[in-house]
Amino acid sequence: MKYMFWSADKEEWLKANRNLSFEQVVAHIAANGEFKLLRNTSSKHPNQMMIVLKLNGYPHCVPYQEEPNYLLLKTIFPNRKMK
C-alpha cells in the first residue's frame, strides 16, 4: 500500500471535534486490514476514493485523493449506511 499523508490542521480538528484521528485509521488498517475501497459518489469530488472501515465499532468513511506515490487523506466521518 502507498504511504498516507494528511493535513496536520485537519488531524487536530478531528481529534478535538470527532475524537478520531488519521493515525487511528492507519493503525486500524495496519493491525487487521479490514476495510473497503470505494469510489466517492459525490459529484463534488469525482477524483476521490473512499476507505470504509469500522472505528470504535461504527462504520466510518475516509475520503482520499490518490497521487502517484501516496494517498492524501481528506477527513473522517461516521456513516451508518456503510455497514
- Best CA proximity match to 46, nearest among 61, 65, 22: 65
A 10 A CB-CB count for 2 gives: 11
pLDDT value at position 20?
94
Domain range for 24: 3-82
Question: Which CATH number do you get for residue 75?
Answer: 3.30.2310
Rg over CA atoms, the chain: 12
pLDDT value at position 48?
92
State pLDDT tens for residues 6-65. 999 999 999 999 999 999 999 998 997 789 999 888 888 888 999 999 988 899 999 999
Q: Work out how many domains the chain is built from and give that number.
A: 1
pLDDT value at position 75?
96
